Chains A and B, each alone.
Chain A
Amino acid sequence: MLGRGLKRKLSDYEENMAGLSSAFDSSRSLPYPLRRQLVLNMCLTKLQTYKMLVEPNLHRSVLIANTVRQIQEEMRQESNQQPVNICPGIAPGSHSYTGMESPGISLQLPSGISQQESHCCDLRSVEDPIENSLLIVSDDDMSSAISSILKDLDFVEDISPPTCLVPTGDDQTKFPENTGLKLEDDRQDLKGAECVFGSFEISNSTSYLKDLAIDDIFEDIDTSMYDSDFCCPPIMPSRSPSLATEEPLKTFPSCNSSSANNIQICRTDLSELDHIMEILVGS
Chain B
Amino acid sequence: ADIISTVEFNHTGELLATGDKGGRVVIFQREQESKNQPHRRGEYNVYSTFQSHEPEFDYLKSLEIEEKINKIRWLPQQNAAYFLLSTNDKTVKLWKVSERDKRPEGYNLKDEDGRLRDPSMITMLRVPVLRPMDLMVEATPRRVFANAHTYHINSISVNSDYETYMSADDLRINLWNFEITNQSFNIVDIKPANMEELTEVITAAEFHPHHCNTFVYSSSKGTIRLCDMRTAALCDRHAKFFEEPEDPSNRSFFSEIISSISDVKFSHSGRYIMTRDYLTVKVWDLNMENRPIETYQVHDYLRSKLCSLYENDCIFDKFECVWNGPDSVIMTGSYNNFFRMFDRNTKRDVTLEASRENSKPRAILKPRKVCVGGKRRKDEISVDSLDFSKKILHTAWHPSENIIAVAATNNLYIFQDKVN
Contact = CB atoms under 8 A, between A and B. Distances in A.
A38 interface: yes
A36 interface: yes
Contacts of A67: 253-254, 256-257
B60 A256 contact: no
A59 B256 CA distance: 12
A63 B253 CA distance: 11
A210 B59 CA distance: 9
A35 B60 CA distance: 43
Contacts of B63: 3, 54-55, 213, 253
Contact of B195 (A3, A17, A100, A154): A154
B412 interface: no
B198 interface: yes
A58 B170 contact: yes
A3 B196 CA distance: 25
A96 B196 contact: no
Given A3-B62, A4-B64, A21-B310, A96 B251 contact: yes
Contacts of A105: none
A70 B311 contact: no
B350 interface: no
Given A58-B170, A59-B170, A62-B199, A155 B308 contact: no
A54 B62 contact: yes
A62 B203 contact: no
A12 interface: no
A25 B307 contact: yes
Interface in A28-83: 35-36, 38-39, 42, 54-55, 57-60, 62-67, 70-71
B311 A42 contact: yes
Classify the secondary structure of A's interface with B.
Answer: helix
* Residue among B55, B171, B196, B304 with max Cβ neighbours from chain A (10 Å): B196
Given A42-B310, A59-B170, A151-B195, A98 B61 contact: no
B150 A215 contact: yes
B249 A253 contact: no
Interface in A108-164: 146-148, 150-151, 153-157
B253 A71 contact: yes
B195 A39 contact: no
Interface residues of B, number: 40
A97 interface: yes
A58 B252 contact: no
B200 A62 contact: yes
Contacts of B203: 59
Contacts of A54: 62-64
Interface string B43-59: 00000000000010100
B61 A214 contact: yes
Nearest to A23: B307
Given A62-B220, A63-B256, A147-B196, A25 B251 contact: no
B319 to A, nearest CB: 14
A215 B151 CA distance: 11
A62 B198 contact: yes
A200 interface: no
B259 to A, nearest CB: 10
Interface string A202-242: 00000000111111101100000000000000000000000
Contact of A150 (B147, B198, B253, B305): B198
A66 B248 CA distance: 18
B61 A22 contact: no
Interface residues of A, number: 55
Interface string B182-212: 0000000000000110111101000000000
Given A54-B62, A59-B170, A70-B256, A21 B311 contact: yes
A160 to B, nearest CB: 14
A215 B248 CA distance: 42
Nearest to A216: B147
Contact of A157 (B151, B195, B252, B253): B195
Nearest to B151: A58
* Residue among A18, A154, A157 with max Cβ neighbours from chain B (10 Å): A154
A36 B199 contact: no
A99 interface: yes
B359 to A, nearest CB: 31
Contacts of A36: 253
Contact of B251 (A38, A58, A98, A215): A98
Contacts of A22: 307-308
Contacts of B310: 21, 39, 42
B385 interface: no
Interface in B241-288: 248-254, 256-257, 260
A1 interface: yes
Interface in B284-317: 304-308, 310-311, 313, 316
Contacts of A60: 313, 316
Contacts of B170: 58-59
A155 B305 contact: no
Contact of B64 (A2, A64, A148): A2
Contacts of B57: 2-3
Given A155-B61, A219-B60, A59 B220 contact: yes
Contact of B62 (A17, A25, A99, A210): A210
Interface string B165-190: 00000110000000000000000000
Interface string B352-378: 000000000000000000000000000
Contact of A62 (B201, B250, B307): B201
A256 to B, nearest CB: 7
Contacts of B195: 150-151, 153-154, 157
The 10 lowest CB-CB distance pairs between A and B, nearest first, are: A147-B196, A154-B195, A213-B61, A24-B307, A21-B311, A21-B307, A39-B253, A58-B170, A21-B308, A25-B307
Given A4-B64, A100-B252, A155-B61, 20 more contacts: A2-B64, A3-B57, A3-B64, A21-B311, A25-B305, A38-B307, A42-B307, A58-B151, A58-B201, A60-B316, A62-B199, A62-B201, A64-B257, A66-B199, A98-B249, A147-B196, A151-B196, A155-B151, A214-B60, A256-B62
21 contacts: A2-B64, A22-B307, A24-B307, A25-B305, A35-B253, A38-B307, A39-B254, A54-B62, A54-B63, A59-B170, A59-B220, A62-B198, A62-B199, A99-B250, A99-B251, A150-B195, A156-B150, A212-B61, A215-B150, A216-B60, A216-B147
